[in-house]
């Protein structure tokens, strides 16, 4: 009696064939679950012990992509045991192509994001808080999804050659009409990968100076010292000479001072030593040189060069102020007079 039941047909398939199909699906799912619980646990433990992130990404993708792909393969293999109508086979094939395309797209999107995050990590930067990274990842995702959609439509039997040709011609037309936007886009990628500055850096661009607030696909925002926001296109920014003071390891400072022509030669010789003694007392500053530079119109000019450790502008001004005060005090003790613009008139009494 059981054999008779198994031989009964529904929709061109025996019950026994349905049971075989069901057994393959259930057995495959159980096998995948067993492999997932045993092998994946060991792979995850192995990946956590290593110092690289490649294995962590691989294990994560096996779980996120490999297992759904295995389920899809099991379903496709099980359905091959059944005799299906052309319409049902077409529906199953379409569903398989759609699911496979989605799985591949998800894998590529994850791969793109991992690649950018790994690039940022090697540069010692926080990828999770980088708005620029989010923008470029979003652009890469869009390209992957568009390519995946075209691939899926092509495999479903749609003729996309005309669409692709139209997109190519339209792309050329758009590129010619939007050269400025594309220039800003390329400038965005230059800023993203070359990193001439970071958010929070103090920069000088032409006549403008300020702190970088953010940079996007088209423009970069700079908060100026006066309080307003300066919006600069990425192309203009990459074409300009950018002075990044945040990356200044040492600040070189050169200034000049003038003493009167009535200063005795003995005191003129002592001035370099006086200045050197002053800078030995100033912490954070390293004197480079002091020289009698030239004879000016109304003064004898000395040039002083020193270095300040770090890029803190306030620290530099504090040191300069301290140096000026100490020079003024020491010159006053020795009666060395600072020069100022003077004019001498000679009167002829005849």
The model's pTM is 0.52
Residue 66 resides in a domain: yes
Q: For residue 222, what are the domain limits?
A: 196-247
Which of the two residues, 47 and 170, has the higher pLDDT score? Answer: 47
- Please report the pLDDT score of residue 128 as a whole number: 47
Shared-domain flag, residues 60 and 136: yes
* pLDDT tens, residue by residue, 6-41: 556 665 666 666 677 777 777 777 877 777 677 766
* Number of structural domains found in the chain: 3
> Which of 155, 170, 185 delimits the end of a domain?
170
Instruction: Check pLDDT > 90 for residue 271.
Output: yes
Shared-domain flag, residues 287 and 261: yes
Shared-domain flag, residues 227 and 261: no
The domain that holds 327 is classified in CATH as 3.30.70.100
Residue 17 resides in a domain: yes
Shared-domain flag, residues 272 and 213: no
Residue 190 resides in a domain: no
Instruction: Check pLDDT > 60 for residue 83.
Output: yes
Per-residue tokens: 144: 């992957």
């Amino acid at each position: 009696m059981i054999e008779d039941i198994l031989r009964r047909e529904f929709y061109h398939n025996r019950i026994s064939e349905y049971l075989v199909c069901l057994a393959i699906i259930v057995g495959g799912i159980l096998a995948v679950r067993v492999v997932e619980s045993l092998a994946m646990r060991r792979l995850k433990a192995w990946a956590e012990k290593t110092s690289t992130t490649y294995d962590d990404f691989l294990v994560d993708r096996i779980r996120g992509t490999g297992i759904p792909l295995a389920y899809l393969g099991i379903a496709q293999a099980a359905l091959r045991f059944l005799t299906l109508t052309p319409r049902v086979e077409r529906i199953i094939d379409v569903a398989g192509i759609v699911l496979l395309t989605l799985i591949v797209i998800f894998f590529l999107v994850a791969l793109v994001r991992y690649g950018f995050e790994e690039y940022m990590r090697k540069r010692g930067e926080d990828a999770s808080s980088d708005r620029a990274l989010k923008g470029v990842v979003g652009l890469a995702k869009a390209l992957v999804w568009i390519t995946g959609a075209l691939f899926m439509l092509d495999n479903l039997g749609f003729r996309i050659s005309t669409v692709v040709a139209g997109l190519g011609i339209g792309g050329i037309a758009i590129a010619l009409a939007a050269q400025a936007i594309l220039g800003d886009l390329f400038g965005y990628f230059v800023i993203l990968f070359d990193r001439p500055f970071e958010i929070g850096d103090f920069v000088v661009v032409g006549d403008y100076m300020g702190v970088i607030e953010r940079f996007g696909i088209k423009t970069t925002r700079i908060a100026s010292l006066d309080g307003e926001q300066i919006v600069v296109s990425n192309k203009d920014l990459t074409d300009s000479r950018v002075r990044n003071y945040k990356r200044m390891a040492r600040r070189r400072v050169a200034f000049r001072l003038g003493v009167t022509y009535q200063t005795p030669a003995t005191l003129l010789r002592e001035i370099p030593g006086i200045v050197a003694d002053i800078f030995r007392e100033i912490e954070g500053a390293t004197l480079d040189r002091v020289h009698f530079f030239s004879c000016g119109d109304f003064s004898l000019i000395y040039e002083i060069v020193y270095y300040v450790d770090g890029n803190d502008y306030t620290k530099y001004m504090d040191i300069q102020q301290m140096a000026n005060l100490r020079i003024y005090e020491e010159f006053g003790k020795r009666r060395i007079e600072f020069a100022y613009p003077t004019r001498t008139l000679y009167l002829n009494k005849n």
